[in-house]
């Protein structure tokens, strides 16, 4: 609700994909050994301040009213424990101040993917590995992390190198040793490894204290900004090894082990722990059976052939000390097959035992600074759809900020506009309805849902749209497949009246299969600098698939929305009007879809409307309490 009591739809975008890496040369399209991890700077991510008004004005023009603004633990505390980058914090505050001048709400996202840049993603500073007793310079040799900067051949002209660094392969790191150790320690260290201490504290408390310390510093710096509405808890947190058997591979995702299982190597915790200690191990390789969709073991493959230990000490490791296994110099002996999934005779409940107190600590941290902030809560995305839920105890004023993607599009980077679009739309509706339902289970009253991430790769179908642009094709034709896919997603969001922040806007994006958003060859940005035609004087310059994401919607309503839909150039809104609300309904109507103006019909004879073409808004004042229908059509 806004201060007038109007129902609000937050329709936003993540800003931005390259905030995961340092500026200016930290993208994964360039080699690095991460030796400069203490001296890097993230000033300039998401863009230099002198470019902020251009980018933020464009975002607002396209109808977005909210930013999920990325930062990382590394960006704030890269120099060392408790050493906060004050210059970066000054810059971060300035970006939010700029956003306020463009009418954009902000919630802060402490982002991570597979823990850290040094383990194939982004998030935690490099010194955290040192604190854990891990040497990230040995990760590649020990097969403890799958990192583009180690696997990709930067001297080769081939952009896609599927034999060396397959598309979307970064997620495989969740199974490998570096992530297994880090996430298990972060959430379950006090339970599973009570004697593992760092600087006199259990490892879990050490890690969470520093993470939340960085969040508290950011919170204090942005507390005066009234467009900041809250903080995300932690982007797509991992599970570590919690819930897994020690040595038995799984052939399919289960509620206990919800990670997607794909053909390839299946690392068990024992495999990873043995390799981490310097043993060469044989890993089960999974492949498809003759029956479609069924995996089975098809062989084995050796890993850590160099016999490199990633621990900075000789052992035992903290899990061996806690009684999980014994390092015997050969195969490794399992002492407790259920070490990561049973405690005191009861199955470990990751959400209620570990996530609930973590969410409470996030809420306590930010609300010690400003009591009205919202908590945008996320679970590991792999548990969604498995029957596992958010914890029973959620902080007040929490938002279900779960993510949703069409996994087929995301992994295969293919979309066929000739397929049955109605069936796909219905599929999206059903999946998003389930995600929204999760929010209804927050406490007795339930909670709103904001889909924190969704989107599409723009290098669909081998980058056909990029080639069309290079040939001189302009307009929307090269983006037909992209716009259709996004349109189906927004159709479902409209039907469910869900708020959302699309992934993503990357100011440095390039129409280059090697570069994309500058991180692990992902390319999901709605903007690309390569789409800017310098001489065209186009206010929508840089847009990719503009008609797919810049769509009409009711951003604020004088009552409760009953239905909202857009199809064939017509926008329909149904609401239960409340005359006690002394502010009009605001409907965003982009010029891209309504180039010649609008025609508006209202079901109440005393209702009235105005059209602010420059602001791309239609304002509607109800004439009576109760049902009000608004129909907006294009002027021919």
The domain spanning residue 616 has which CATH number?
Answer: 2.60.40.1180
380: domain CATH number is: 3.20.20.80
- Which pLDDT value is given to residue 512? 94
Q: In this predicted structure, what is the pLDDT of residue 210?
A: 98
Residues 6+ apart with CB under 8 A from 189: 196, 202, 203, 204, 205, 207
Terminal alpha carbon distance of the chain: 35
Q: Is the dihedral of CA 359, 360, 365, 366 positive or negative?
A: positive
197 and 284 share one domain? no
Higher per-residue confidence, 331 vs 547: 547
Q: Could you tell me if 319 and 369 lie in one domain?
A: no
What pLDDT does residue 185 have? 98
Of the candidate ranges 2-11, 15-24, 204-213, 278-287, the one whose mean pLDDT is the lowest: 278-287
In a domain, 1, yes or no: no
Number of independent structural domains in the chain? 3
Give the pLDDT confidence of 444-480 residue by residue, as tens digits.
889 999 999 999 999 999 899 999 999 999 888 899 9
Per-residue pLDDT tens over the stretch 72-129: 999 999 999 999 999 999 999 999 999 999 999 999 999 999 999 999 999 999 999 9
Closest listed residue to residue 108, CA positions, set 224, 23, 201, 233: 233
CA 364 to chain CA mean position, Å: 23
Evaluate whether residue 259 is within a structural domain: no
Q: Could you report the per-residue pLDDT of 276-302, keeping only the tens digit for each?
A: 999 999 999 888 776 666 788 889 999
Q: Is position 318 within any domain?
A: yes
pLDDT in tens, 34-58: 999 999 999 999 999 999 999 999 9
- pLDDT of the residue at 289: 72
Residue 379 and residue 337 share a domain:
no
Nearest-angstrom CA–CA distance, 278 and 272? 10
Query: What does each C-alpha distance from 490 to 495, 498, 521, 567 come to in angstroms?
Result: 8, 9, 25, 11
Within-domain flag for 352: yes
> Does 260 have pLDDT greater than 80?
no
Domain assignment of residue 138, yes or no: yes
Q: What is the CA angle 87-90-96, rounded to 5?
A: 145
Do 533 and 500 share a structural domain?
yes
Domain that residue 557 falls in: 553-634
Out of 289, 312, 346, pick the residue that ends a domain.
346
Per-residue pLDDT, averaged over 165-188, amounts to: 96
For the purposes of burial, counting CB atoms within 10 Å of the CB of 372, is it exposed (0-12), middle (13-18) or buried (19 or more)? exposed
The pLDDT value given to residue 296: 83
- Summary mean pLDDT of the chain: 95
Residue 497 lies in a domain: yes
Of 549, 564, 590, the domain-final residue: 549
* Structure confidence by residue, pLDDT tens digits, 138-168: 999 999 999 999 999 999 999 999 999 998 9
Phi, psi of 449 (to 5 degrees): -115, 135
Domain identity same for 285 and 274: yes
244, part of any domain: no
Per-residue pLDDT, 525:
98
Domain shared by 493 and 538, yes or no: yes
pLDDT at 255 over 90: no
Asked whether residue 620 falls in the same domain as residue 502, the answer is no
Q: Which of 525, 549, 573 lies at the terminal end of a domain, its last residue?
A: 549
**Pair (101, 197) in one structural domain:** yes
Do 367 and 504 belong to one domain?
Answer: yes
224 assigned to some structural domain: yes
Based on the domain organization, do 325 and 353 belong to the same domain? Answer: no
| 530 and 562 assigned to the same domain | no
State the average pLDDT over residues 555-576.
Answer: 97
Does residue 631 sit in helix, strand or coil?
A: strand
132 in the same domain as 188: yes
334: which strand partners? 325
Task: Retrieve residue 43's tokens.
Answer: 């000033």
């Amino acid at each position: 609700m806004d201060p007038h009591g109007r129902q609000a739809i937050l329709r936003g975008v993540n800003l931005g994909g390259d905030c995961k890496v340092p500026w200016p040369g930290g993208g994964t399209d360039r080699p690095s050994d991460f030796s400069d991890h203490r001296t890097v700077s993230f000033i300039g991510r998401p863009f230099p301040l002198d470019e902020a008004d251009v980018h933020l004005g464009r975002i607002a023009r396209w109808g977005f009213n909210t930013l999920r603004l990325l930062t990382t633990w590394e960006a704030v505390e890269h120099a060392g424990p408790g050493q906060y980058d004050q210059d970066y914090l000054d810059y971060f505050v300035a970006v939010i101040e700029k956003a306020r001048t463009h009418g954009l709400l902000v919630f802060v996202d402490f982002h991570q993917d597979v823990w850290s840049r040094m383990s194939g993603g982004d998030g935690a500073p490099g010194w955290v590995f040192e604190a854990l007793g891990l040497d990230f310079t040995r990760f590649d040799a020990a097969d403890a992390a799958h990192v583009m900067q180690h696997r990709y051949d930067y001297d080769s002209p081939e952009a896609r190198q599927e034999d060396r660094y397959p598309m979307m392969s970064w997620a495989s790191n969740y199974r490998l040793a570096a992530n297994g150790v880090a996430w298990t320690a972060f959430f379950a260290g006090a339970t599973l490894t009570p004697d593992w201490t760092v600087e006199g504290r259990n490892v879990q408390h050490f890690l969470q204290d520093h993470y939340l310390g960085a969040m508290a510093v950011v919170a204090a710096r942005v507390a005066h900004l009234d467009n900041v509405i809250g903080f995300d808890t932690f982007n797509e947190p991992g599970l570590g090894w919690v819930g897994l058997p020690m040595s038995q591979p799984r052939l399919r995702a289960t509620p206990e082990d919800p990670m997607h299982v794909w053909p390839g190597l299946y690392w068990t915790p024992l495999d990873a722990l043995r390799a981490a200690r310097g043993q060469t191990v044989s890993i089960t390789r999974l492949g498809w059976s003759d029956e479609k969709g069924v995996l089975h073991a098809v062989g084995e493959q050796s890993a850590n052939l160099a016999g490199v230990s990633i621990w900075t000490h000789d052992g035992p490791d903290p899990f061996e000390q806690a009684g999980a296994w014994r390092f015997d110099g050969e195969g490794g002996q399992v002492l407790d097959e259920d070490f990561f999934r049973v405690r005191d005779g009861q199955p470990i409940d990751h959400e209620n035992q570990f996530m609930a107190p973590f969410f409470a600590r996030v809420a306590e941290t930010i609300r010690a600074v400003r009591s009205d902030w919202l908590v945008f809560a996320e679970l590991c995305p792999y548990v969604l759809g498995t029957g596992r839920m958010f914890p029973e105890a959620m902080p007040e004023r929490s938002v279900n900020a779960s993510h949703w993607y069409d996994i087929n599009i995301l992994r295969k980077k293919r979309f066929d506009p000739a397929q049955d679009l109605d069936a796909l739309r219905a599929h999206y509706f059903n999946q998003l309805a389930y995600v929204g339902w999760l929010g209804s289970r927050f406490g007795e009253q339930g909670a709103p849902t904001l889909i924190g991430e969704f989107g599409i790769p723009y290098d669909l179908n081998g980058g056909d749209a990029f080639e069309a642009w290079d040939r001189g094709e302009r307009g929307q034709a090269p983006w037909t497949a992209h716009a259709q896919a996004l349109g189906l997603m927004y159709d479902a969001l409209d039907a469910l009246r869900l708020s959302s922040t699309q992934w993503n806007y990357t100011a440095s994006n390039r129409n280059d299969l090697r570069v994309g958003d500058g991180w692990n060859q992902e390319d999901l940005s709605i903007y690309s600098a390569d789409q800017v035609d310098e001489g065209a004087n186009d206010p929508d310059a840089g847009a990719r698939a503009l008609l797919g994401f810049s769509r009409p919607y009711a951003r604020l309503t004088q009552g409760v929305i009953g239905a909202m839909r857009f199809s064939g150039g017509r926008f329909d809104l149904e609401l239960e009007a409340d005359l006690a609300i002394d502010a009009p309904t605001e409907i965003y109507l982009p010029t891209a879809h309504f180039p010649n103006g609008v025609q508006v019909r209202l079901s109440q004879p005393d209702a009235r409307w105005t059209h602010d073409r420059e602001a791309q808004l239609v304002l509607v004042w109800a004439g009576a309490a109760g049902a009000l229908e608004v129909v907006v059509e294009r002027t021919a």
